[in-house]
Amino acid sequence: MVSTFHGLELGKRGLAVTQASITTTGQNIANANTKGYSRQQVNASATPSLDVWTTGGKSGQLGTGVSLDSITRVRDVFLDRQHHDQASTLGESQVKQQTFDRLETIINEPSKTGLSSSMDKLWAAWQDVANEPKSSAAQTVLKERAIEFVNTAQAMDRDMTYAIDDLNLQQTNTVRDANELVKQIAELNGSIKKAGNQANDLLDKRDLLVGELSTLASIKVTANADGTNNVSLRKADGTAGTELVKGDVQSDSIVDGSEASGGKLAGIIESKAIVGKYQTELANTVEQFVTANGLAAASAPGANLFTKENAAFKVSELNANLTISKDNPAQNANGDVSKVNKSFQSLVSELGAQSQSATNSVKNNEAALLATDNRRMSVTGVSLDEEMANLIMYQHSYSAAARFVSTTDQMLDVIINQMGR
């Protein structure tokens, strides 16, 4: 038998669900510009109906209202994973582009102050010496051109060493930042586990940190039934590598970043190798050039234009022979300098091509990430127009539910207080 107060209970349930919907809409509007916030929605369903007998002896169903099942975030796991992968790729390509930009600045070609210009000036000085072998001015100019070449080569070599030092520092700081994110993700997983997987705000904070981690290293995220996530480094073949977070436990840490197959860490590791390669090629070019112009040990410079301090050649230990003068004229260069020039131009051309390729890669990855981010925001982001429409809809629903309760109360008043007078 249906209770006399059935209508009041039904109306109360409608008011409660509508009020929750209005509050959730307000929460969405308030956090429309909050970084990492996901749009929330109220999930409601009709409560079980009551069986009633109808005319003719047939049973019917009498509605009992609505129940508030949950308040959940609107997320698309596929888009989240795609965003993580593309953020990792962009992070890696950005570091490489910055490295190529720095190398182009260091090599500084074409210019009037680069290594190629120093080679040309030195070669022109040799021509003057050949024309006037006993000229003190010609010998002095040749020595000064040699000093200029050494200074230019050593400045480039030194700047490349500084670039590697900076990358080492970036690597240390990035590993530290990544491990701190891993620690925070494990802690948030613990809080989510305690609060239940409907802890929307905690889930948003955790996912925001996972997104930040994906820019530092390529990761693989696996969702658990209790709302926590397992986070592992992703190998180059796409499989899971080192497991960093398992549920609410930080199971491992990133050691030095060499384990990462993508992200900023992988970009730093690759950039160090790129700078090292160009530094080696620069040293080979300089060694070939100075050998062609006369190279000897510093202890016995003789009439050679350049000296080195040790048997193994190092750009940083290269010096111009300061004893060159009219009385100790430099030996004529007899090496194939043009071949060295072509080798250096080839190095410059290769750097330019790789730098252009890195720039294009960054542009492409930025466009791909932006497209994915727009699609993800169309799902998880807050649309103020949509929320305002929802607010008006829920306002009407609340007014109708309140009117229903008021009407039911008036009906009960008639039955309880006015019948039988």
- Half-sphere exposure (Cβ direction) of 250: Cα atoms closer than 13 Å: 14
pLDDT of 382 higher than 80: yes
Q: What whole-number percentage of the chain has pLDDT above 70?
A: 97
Q: What is the pLDDT of residue 205?
A: 96
C-alpha span between 10 and 65 (Å, rounded)? 5
Q: pLDDT band for position 419 (50/70/90)?
A: confident
Burial 394-415 (b: 16+ CB within 10 A, else e): beebbeebeebbeebeeeeeee
- ∠ CA(191), CA(197), CA(201), 5° rounding? 65
Burial 244-268 (b: 16+ CB within 10 A, else e): bbbbbebebebeebebbbbbbbbbb
Q: What is the pLDDT of residue 335?
A: 66
Q: Under a CB-based contact definition with an 8 Å cutoff, are residues 68 and 16 in contact?
A: yes
Q: pLDDT band for position 110 (50/70/90)?
A: confident
Question: For 87-105, what is each residue's pLDDT tens digit?
Answer: 999 999 999 999 999 999 9
Question: For 154-211, what is each residue's pLDDT tens digit?
Answer: 999 999 999 999 999 999 999 999 999 999 999 999 999 999 768 999 999 999 999 9
Q: What is the pLDDT of residue 333?
A: 66
pLDDT of 279 higher than 70: yes
CA 349 to chain centre: 29
Q: Which residues, other chains included, contact 197 with Cβ-Cβ below 8 Å and sequence gap of 6+?
A: 203, 225, 226, 227
Three-state SS at 246: strand
pLDDT of 140 higher than 70: yes
Residue 245's identity, in one-letter code, is: V
pTM check: above 0.75: yes
Q: pLDDT band for position 343 (50/70/90)?
A: confident
pLDDT of 401 higher than 80: yes
pLDDT of 17 higher than 70: yes
Q: Under a CB-based contact definition with an 8 Å cutoff, are residues 166 and 292 in contact?
A: no
Average pLDDT rounded to a whole number, residues 232-236: 93
Q: pLDDT band for position 278 (50/70/90)?
A: very high
Question: For 19-31, what is each residue's pLDDT tens digit?
Answer: 999 999 999 999 9
Q: pLDDT band for position 121 (50/70/90)?
A: very high
Q: What secondary structure letter does DSSP report for 48? A: P
Which of 226 and 326 is assigned the larger pLDDT? 226
Q: What secondary structure letter does DSSP report for 385? A: H
CA 61 to chain centre: 57
Which of 361 and 135 is assigned the larger pLDDT? 361
C-alpha span between 360 and 352 (Å, rounded)? 12
pLDDT of 2 higher than 80: no
Q: What is the pLDDT of residue 334?
A: 66
